């Protein structure tokens, strides 16, 4: 596949980017290198190669998800500087 000015401009338009002429020339060269590399990879025979789903055979080691008791509302409000039976009392910060 040949990378030309039209392709570079189309990609720039799709990405909503603007490039100077020097940048377009550099991008054109970089795109051509990437396409050449992919075309070289396509020459390999991969008929007996299984698809790679993960880079390693390792899997996540997750802890068991257990429900454990928590503190009650009353215990949580014990150390509050100011509270009623259900809520923490805080100073008013919004003025009307």
pLDDT in tens, 42-72: 898 988 988 888 788 888 888 888 999 898 8
Question: CA 78 to CA 49: how far, in whole Å?
Answer: 64
The residue whose two tokens read 């068991």 is 64
Q: Count of domains in the chain? A: 1
pTM > 0.85: yes or no: no
| Domain of 26, in residue numbers | 5-41
CATH of the domain at 28: 1.10.20
When pLDDT is cut at 50, 70 and 90, the band that residue 37 belongs to is very high
pLDDT band at 29 (very low <50, low <70, confident <90, very high): very high
**57 occurs within a structural domain:** no
Is residue 96 pLDDT above 80, yes or no?
Answer: no
With respect to residue 12, please indicate whether it lies within any of the assigned structural domains: yes
**Which tops the pLDDT comparison, 79 or 9?**
9
Q: Whole-angstrom Cα distance, residue 3 to residue 33?
A: 10
Residue 71 lies in a domain: no
> Would residue 55 count as lying in a domain?
no
Q: Where are the alpha helices (DSSP H) in 15-79?
A: 21-41, 73-77
């Amino acid at each position: 596949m040949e990378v030309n000015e039209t392709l570079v401009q189309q990609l720039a338009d799709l990405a909503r980017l603007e490039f100077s002429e020097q940048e377009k020339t550099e991008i054109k060269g970089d795109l051509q290198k990437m396409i050449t590399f992919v075309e070289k990879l396509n020459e390999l025979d991969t008929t007996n190669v299984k698809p790679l789903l993960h880079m390693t055979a390792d899997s996540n080691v997750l802890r068991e998800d257990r429900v454990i008791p928590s503190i009650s509302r009353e215990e949580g409000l014990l150390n509050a500087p100011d509270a009623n039976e259900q809520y923490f009392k805080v100073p008013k910060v919004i003025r009307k």
